[in-house]
Amino acid sequence: MSTLTRTRRATARAHVNIALVKYWGKRDVALNLPAAGSLSLTLDRLHTTTTVSFEDDNATDALILDGRPVGPGVLAKALRVVDPLRRRAELAERPVSIISDNTVPTAAGLASSASGLAALTVATAAACGLDLAPTELSALARLGSGSACRSLFGGFARWDAGTRADGIDSCARPLFDQRHWDLRVVVALVSSAKKKASSTDGMGHTRATSPYHGAFVGSVDADLDAAEAAIGARDFSALARVAERSCLRMHADMLAADPPLAYLRCQSWRVIEVVRELQASGAAVFFSADAGPNVKLFCLPESLGPVREALASLVDEGALEGTIETRPGPDAEVLP
């Protein structure tokens, strides 16, 4: 039995994660169960801080995101996480108040939904007085947004697809903590505007219409093992190879949908071309990109100088809005 304490308010913080082996495709849309596993790195400077309360003067369920009340769609996504927790704590009748602040531009393909739903899960469990294992919290966060299950953990995390219909075995687990490897991640901001298609819609459309989808899903297991081995051995060129291949196969799958789904813009491809030039000049750098136009550059500390310089020229040319420099980040946590 879970313990219900009198605590009815808690604040938690979770950090965004970027997949090195991509998740694209669900085997169950209602439970956010993936067709295959994925593997990610959690980042330090990009995070969401969320306060959840179940206090007597809450009139209805409400979510304030970055200072503004959200629409019913975003609230419904949050309640997918809140509802099972408040039922379990016998607080089902109590309206929830959620106040959430991102250091990330919301919905710009910078994984703000991952940090947001992970912070919400941790804060809600704490406000309900429930002491749950991190993997259980991870499976709950998954109900709100698939990739959020990986943001429970700092450093490198692997999300196992699982095989059960109820999804209990579909959660992330930590592989290597934030101190394992001093990688630097620079976000090349092509646009901080809201993305056009949600990843859930994009995945559904790709699954229904892309003839490449089965091939993408079928290639993931080998990439997961290759990425885990490369990270374990701190083998940068092996990780670069698998991460770029996973990213481009995901985008190829989307581009093969009918009509095609193109998140990358010409400026994104310009950044990728610059990465190729940096690699040719000997820099230890590779790229990744998700359901938005921004490109993330992963590099070793000694290659940060040339990466900075190359991206600064793109900012000067007007091809980029700016850059954000980050490092591996910590576990999600309840704040005092």
Among 102, 138, 147, 151, binds ligand PMV (CB under 6 A): 147
Contact set for ligand PMV, span 221-250 (CB under 6 A): none
Q: How many CB atoms lie within 10 A of CB 184?
A: 19
* Residue 133 neighbours by CB under 8 Å, 6+ apart: none
Alpha carbons 172 and 152: distance in angstroms, whole number:
8
Residue 100 contacts residue 138 (beta carbons within 8 Å): no
- Residue 62 bridge partners (DSSP): 97
| 30: region left, alpha or beta (phi > 0 left; psi from -120 to 50 alpha) | alpha
Identity of the residue, 90 or 221, whose beta carbon is nearer to ligand PMV in the bound complex: 221
Among 12, 19, 143, 239, binds ligand PMV (CB under 6 A): 19
Nearest to 90 by CA among 6, 30, 11, 166: 6
Identify which range of 21-29, 122-130, 207-215, 266-274 contacts ligand PMV by CB under 6 A. Answer: 21-29
Contact set for ligand PMV, span 184-223 (CB under 6 A): 199-200
Q: How far is the CB of 272 from ligand PMV (least distance, A)?
A: 16
Identify which range of 15-23, 173-181, 218-226, 275-283 contacts ligand PMV by CB under 6 A. Answer: 15-23
CA dihedral 25, 136, 140, 205 (to 10 degrees): 0
The reply to whether 329 sits near ligand PMV by the rule CB under 6 A is no
CA–centroid distance for 240 within its chain = 19
Residue 150 contacts residue 40 (beta carbons within 8 Å): yes
Identity of the residue, 146 or 167, whose beta carbon is nearer to ligand PMV in the bound complex: 146
* Residue 316 neighbours by CB under 8 Å, 6+ apart: none
Contact pattern from residue 60 through residue 99 relative to ligand PMV, giving x for each residue in contact according to CB under 6 A and a dash for the rest: ----------------------------------------
Identify which range of 8-16, 141-149, 170-178, 227-235 contacts ligand PMV by CB under 6 A. Answer: 141-149
Nearest to 257 by CA among 204, 196, 321: 204
* 3-class DSSP assignment, residue 20: strand
Identity of the residue, 200 or 219, whose beta carbon is nearer to ligand PMV in the bound complex: 200
Residue 306, token pair as written in the block: 């040339």
Contact set for ligand PMV, span 285-314 (CB under 6 A): 290-291
Q: How far is the CB of 178 from ligand PMV (least distance, A)?
A: 18
Q: How far is the CB of 151 from ligand PMV (least distance, A)?
A: 10
Q: How many CB atoms lie within 10 A of CB 24?
A: 28
Q: Site for ligand PMV (CB under 6 A): how many residues?
A: 13
Nearest to 144 by CA among 14, 266, 262, 335: 14
The reply to whether 105 sits near ligand PMV by the rule CB under 6 A is no
Among 53, 113, 210, 267, binds ligand PMV (CB under 6 A): 113
Q: How far is the CB of 60 from ligand PMV (least distance, A)?
A: 26
Residue 9 contacts residue 201 (beta carbons within 8 Å): no
Identity of the residue, 290 or 331, whose beta carbon is nearer to ligand PMV in the bound complex: 290
Contact set for ligand PMV, span 23-42 (CB under 6 A): 23-24, 38
The reply to whether 144 sits near ligand PMV by the rule CB under 6 A is no
Alpha carbons 34 and 47: distance in angstroms, whole number:
24
Q: How far is the CB of 131 from ligand PMV (least distance, A)?
A: 26
The reply to whether 170 sits near ligand PMV by the rule CB under 6 A is no
Q: What residues make contact with ligand PMV under the rule CB under 6 A?
A: 19, 22-24, 38, 113, 145-147, 199-200, 290-291
